[in-house]
Amino acid sequence: MKHKIVYYPHPKPWKWVLGLLLLLVLLGVTGWAVLFRVNRFTLSVQIAGEEQIQLEYGQEYREPGAQTRLSGTLFWKDGRVLEEVQPTVCGQVDTKTLGRYTLTYSADFRGFHGEARRTVCVVDTQSPVITLAEAPEGEWNPGEPYQDPGFAAVDNYDGDITDQVVCIETLGRITYAVLDSSGNPAYAEREIPVYDREPPEIGLEGGQDYAITTGSFYTEPGYWAEDDQDGDLTEQVLVEGEVDWLTPGTYPISYTVSDAFGNVTTVTRQVEVLAKPRPQTQWPEQKTIYLTFDDGPGPYTRELLDVLDSYGVKATFFVTDTGCDDIMEQIVERGHSIGIHTVTHNYEEIYSSPEAFFADLHKMQDIIYKNTGVRTTLMRFPGGSSNTVSCAACEGVMTILSEAVQNAGFQYFDWNVDSNDAGGARKAETVFRNVVDGVQQTGISLVLQHDIHDYSVEAVEDIIVWGLNNGYTFERLTENSPGFHHGINN
């Protein structure tokens, strides 16, 4: 049996190639379509430089440029720059006109569109320029109104703005100020010659003749100074001179001030330190005992006042600030004399200087006046005028004070009979005997006791009885009584 052989014709090679190419094109188109759909491409325009640019008026604008970028969600996430696609720019910048300009950058690629914007601000930040004309020499006479030689103001944008300049004239200076339409300021100053022939004026509170009493602290009464050009010059016044308020005399105090143009004024105040006249001492004609009590009032002073009242005897109390204010009032109301002793009885403090002593003296005077309504002139130095304890505090202070207090109108009293109740005597009998022995040796006796000691107060009645029985009269001290001053030891 014979087999029949059938021959199929072989396709030609070029047909195979063509078919393969068609297949690849079909696959490529489909792939790109799938790729664009899945990858979700976006087209953007990225501008170079700043999105907002500020240019000065007249400054040249140079375009920084832009580029087109293709980005996808799967591929080219960071974007791919399309060099072949250059963005187009829409808009213009006029740097000769102030304002805000918007430039739009756009690009298109295979159906995609991208866009970006840039803002360019043209501004004027330059201040105007003020030019001052030269002042002609020799054409202005002092005392005449000053004539401004002229000025001009020019702005880079507004041009001539001279008519907008504001001139402010002060002493010796003219200030020129102007603003351009953009609010930029400009200033200039011109020094102008000023002639001031009027000197300042000084006024003295209390007058040019001023008086104080010796022992009264000198406090500047006050002054003022004014100038027709410079105004208030009080703080610039130079005060020279000192007042010795402890020594009678006349002390000049000068006040000097000068203005900005060298005009000088000097005024002098004459401060007179006056010593009060010292009263004439009157010595009793009969035998007299002056009982005096220091350092009170104290817890025994009321009892002492009662004893004195029972015999009609008047005494003198040199008081301190013990706090027994109501007893001070009783001392005065019952007819006794009250005098200043000290506020603190602190030797180191009160004798540290004349100023410290007088401060203590005036303070105790105020305390007495507050409680009694009396300003006394009687006083006794703590320790007496012959004390030496003051040497350690201030050398020579007692020599100064013994004169100063008298010039100040105070009368100081020492003693010539010491009860010794602040020393060795600790019993009433001893105090009594010390007083009687002392009195018998003098015709006029000024007795020192302390009403802060009960034993000393207890001895007073016996002293009074003895004195009355022996022909003595008891008196209180006045400014005319003998002071029995001790010798000064410092």
Q: Residue 337: which CATH number?
A: 3.20.20.370
Same domain, 345 and 464: yes
> Which of 100, 123, 146 represents a domain boundary (last residue)?
123
Helix axes 301-311, 325-333, angle to 10 degrees: 10
Helix axes 354-372, 325-333, angle to 10 degrees: 70
Beta-strand pair 411-412/378-379 = parallel
**pTM attached to this predicted model:** 0.60
Output the pLDDT for position 281.
95
CATH number at residue 265: 2.60.40.10
Question: What is the rounded distance in angstroms from the CA atom of residue 384 to the CA atom of residue 412?
Answer: 9
What is the distance between the alpha carbons of residues 194 and 259, in angstroms, rounded to a whole number? 13
DSSP state, residue 201: E
Domain shared by 263 and 296, yes or no: no
Rounded CA separation 328/324 (Å): 7
- Report the distance separating Cα 416 and Cα 221, nearest Å: 44
CB atoms < 10 A from the CB of 341, how many? Answer: 22
pLDDT value, residue 6? 45
Predicted local distance difference test score (pLDDT) of residue 431: 97
| 434 shares its domain with 457 | yes
229 and 260, same structural domain?
Answer: yes
Within 10 angstroms of residue 153's Cβ, the number of other Cβ atoms is 22
Q: What is the pLDDT of residue 74?
A: 72
Show the domain range for 261. 201-274
Distance CA 295, CA 191 (A): 73
Q: Say which residues have a Cβ less than 8 Å from residue 53's Cβ, sequence separation at least 6.
A: 61, 118, 119, 120, 121
Residue 233 near residue 200, CB atoms below 8 Å = yes
Would you report the helix, strand and coil content of the chain in percent, each value rounded to 5? 25, 30, 45
Q: At CB < 8 A and 24+ separation, what contacts does 102-110 make?
A: 105/45, 105/47, 105/66, 106/45, 107/43, 107/45, 107/68, 107/82, 108/43, 109/43, 109/68, 109/70, 109/82, 109/85
Residues 187 and 82 grouped into a single domain: no
Residue 24 placed within a domain: no
What confidence score (pLDDT) does residue 134 get? Answer: 85
Based on the fold, state whether residues 463 and 378 are members of the same structural domain: yes
- Position 331 in a domain: yes
Overall number of domains in the chain: 4
Which CATH number characterizes residue 133's domain? 2.60.40
Strand, helix or coil for residue 436: helix
User: For each successive 10 residues of the chain (490 residues), what is the average pLDDT?
Assistant: 48 62 60 58 88 90 90 77 89 90 91 90 92 72 69 91 88 86 91 78 96 92 93 96 94 95 93 94 96 96 97 98 93 97 95 96 97 96 96 96 96 97 93 97 96 97 97 97 96
Q: Which of 123, 156, 181 is the last residue of a domain?
A: 123
The pLDDT, as a whole number, for residue 306 is 97
Task: Among 107, 123, 139, give the residue marking a domain's end.
Answer: 123
Three-state secondary structure call for residue 168? strand
264 vs 261: CA distance, rounded Å: 9
Q: DSSP E strands: which ranges in 343-405?
A: 378-379
Q: What pLDDT does residue 72 have?
A: 81
Domain shared by 135 and 157, yes or no? yes
Closest CA to 102 of 88, 119, 87: 119
Res 24: pLDDT: 61
Tally of CB atoms within 10 A around 31 = 11
Inter-axis angle of helices 301-311 and 460-469, nearest 10: 20
d(CA 68, CA 292): 118
- DSSP letters for 36-90: HHHHT-EEEEEESS-SEEEEETTPPP----EEEEEE-SSS-TT-EE-TT-PPEEE
Are residues 118 and 55 part of one domain?
yes
Q: How far apart are CA 8 and CA 321, in angstroms?
A: 152
